[in-house]
Structure 1
Amino acid sequence: MPTWDATLTFFALSVVLGLTPGPDNLFVAMQAATHGRRAGLAVVLGLCTGLLGHTAAVALGLAAVFAASATAFTVFKVMGAAYLAWLAWQAWRAPVGANAGERPPAASWRRLYGRGVFMNLTNPKVALFFLALLPQFVVPGQGPVAAQIAWFGFVFIVATLITFGGITYFAGAFGERLQGSPRAQRWMNRASAVVFAGLALRLATAQR
């Protein structure tokens, strides 16, 4: 198995990557600000579940096959972009006037969790990122390659939980201050719609 020095180095890199502004942490921040901390955490758990899928794909060699297929890349990015565009439409039309601090129903949490899973798994850039990143830390002679990749994938997920959890906490606190104002809620919904639309455009125009 990888040494602790290699693990700590990879963990530090993963934390920096988690805090670097990007589509995923922006997505988490908007969800937490709009729906609350618990809902934001559901999205984070969904994204991390998606990372499990990408880790398995790299460990099993599936990501390499995916990277070589222009058709697969296009299909996945179109699916992801279409889903984000639908989320933008839903956010734009979302009702306002809910009570401050009102907890979303359990079904909403399940939908938000599924939203995180689907967004992550249908983003081909994440698959290619894992394919480029994880093998760099594999050291021959320190155990099976698949096991080392799985380990580093696990470390990346832990770092993501910590960094995105922090983003969720602060974004949720900001959103709670605005939930009592229907006007502020409306602007938050519109801002979420713009973010989703921007992410959809970014993914739709992504190149391998």
Structure 2
Amino acid sequence: MSIAFLLTTLVVCVTPGTGVVYTLAIGLSRGRRAGVAAAVGCTFAVAPHVLATVTGVAALLHASATAFQILKYAGVVYLLYMAWAMVRDKGAIDVDQSPAPASARQLIVRAVLINVLNPKVTIFFLAFLPQFVSPDEPHSALRMLALGSVFMLVTFLVFVAYGVLAASVRSHVVSRPRVMTWLRRSFAGSFLVLGVRLAYGG
């Protein structure tokens, strides 16, 4: 395991994206446990991209413009839906003192959908993982799976930190409706921007 791989992984995980935005929003709106649940979902969503890279599905997506565009625009639609839902449903970012027992599962599913429906993650792994595996190395597929597992672990730890950090300042915004409204609009705007960037390949 090289230092370069760990540093690159850390930078990629810390850089704000759809998963970070979602985890921060959930940590602020529902607290620490919900933030951790969102982190779990975002981490689970990495697994299909790693497997796609190892099995060669990523190469197919990269070669097939149609397959890439279909998955890409499915992700765009979902991000725009998240932005619309955040604005429309004031409860989406309101503090819920007693969330329903099933809400954790719902948060995980939403987090998985957000990251799975982003083909750029698969393309990233297609370009990222092979750089740290020698073409002459035996069991290169197992090596990439191991590296992907490390990436998932770092993702989980970073996202949990984001969720817990957001939950730690939750009490400071509970009694400030204007702040909550601003936060809800900010997260909605973030999802909108991310969706537009994905649509135009930026």
Answer whether TM exceeds 0.5 for this pair.
yes
Quote the offset at 1:83 in angstroms: 0.9
Tell me, yes or no, if the aligned pair for 1:101 and 1:176 is still in contact at 8 Å. Answer: no
1:130-165 Cα distance to aligned partner (Å, 9 max, x none): 000001111245431110110000000111111111
Tell me, yes or no, if the aligned pair for 1:34 and 1:189 is still in contact at 8 Å. Answer: no
User: In the alignment, what sits opposite 1:198?
Assistant: 193
User: In the alignment, what sits opposite 1:66?
Assistant: 61
User: In the alignment, what sits opposite 1:31?
Assistant: 26
Matches within 5 A, 1:174-185: 174-185=169-180
Amino acid aligned to 1:12: L
1:154 lines up with 2:154 in the alignment:
no
Quote the offset at 1:33 in angstroms: 1.9
Matches within 5 A, 1:79-158: 79-96=74-91, 102-140=97-135, 142-158=137-153
Distance in structure 2 (CA, Å) of the matches to 1:101 and 1:123: 29
Q: 3-state DSSP class of the match of 1:102?
A: coil
Tell me, yes or no, if the aligned pair for 1:42 and 1:109 is still in contact at 8 Å. Answer: yes
Distance in structure 2 (CA, Å) of the matches to 1:108 and 1:101: 11
State the number of aligned residues: 201
* Structure 2, unpaired ranges of 5+: none
Amino acid aligned to 1:137: F
Distance in structure 2 (CA, Å) of the matches to 1:167 and 1:83: 22
Tell me, yes or no, if the aligned pair for 1:99 and 1:180 is still in contact at 8 Å. Answer: no
Quote the offset at 1:39 in angstroms: 1.7
* Alignment equivalent of 1:47, drawn from 42, 45, 60: 42
Q: 3-state DSSP class of the match of 1:206?
A: coil
Give identity over the alignment, percent: 34
Q: 3-state DSSP class of the match of 2:169?
A: helix
1:158-193 Cα distance to aligned partner (Å, 9 max, x none): 111111111111122223321233333222222221
Distance in structure 1 (CA, Å) of the matches to 2:94 and 2:16: 31
1:92-150 Cα distance to aligned partner (Å, 9 max, x none): 12235x98561422322212111111111110110000000001111245431110110
Tell me, yes or no, if the aligned pair for 2:18 and 2:191 is still in contact at 8 Å. Answer: no
Q: 3-state DSSP class of the match of 2:90?
A: coil
Distance in structure 1 (CA, Å) of the matches to 2:181 and 2:13: 29
User: In the alignment, what sits opposite 1:186?
Assistant: 181
* Structure 1, unpaired ranges of 5+: none
Distance in structure 1 (CA, Å) of the matches to 2:189 and 2:140: 42
Q: 3-state DSSP class of the match of 1:15?
A: helix
Amino acid aligned to 1:54: H
Quote the offset at 1:50 in angstroms: 1.2
Distance in structure 2 (CA, Å) of the matches to 1:103 and 1:139: 51
Moved more, 127-136 or 186-195: 186-195
TM-score (norm 2): 0.89
TM-score (norm 1): 0.87
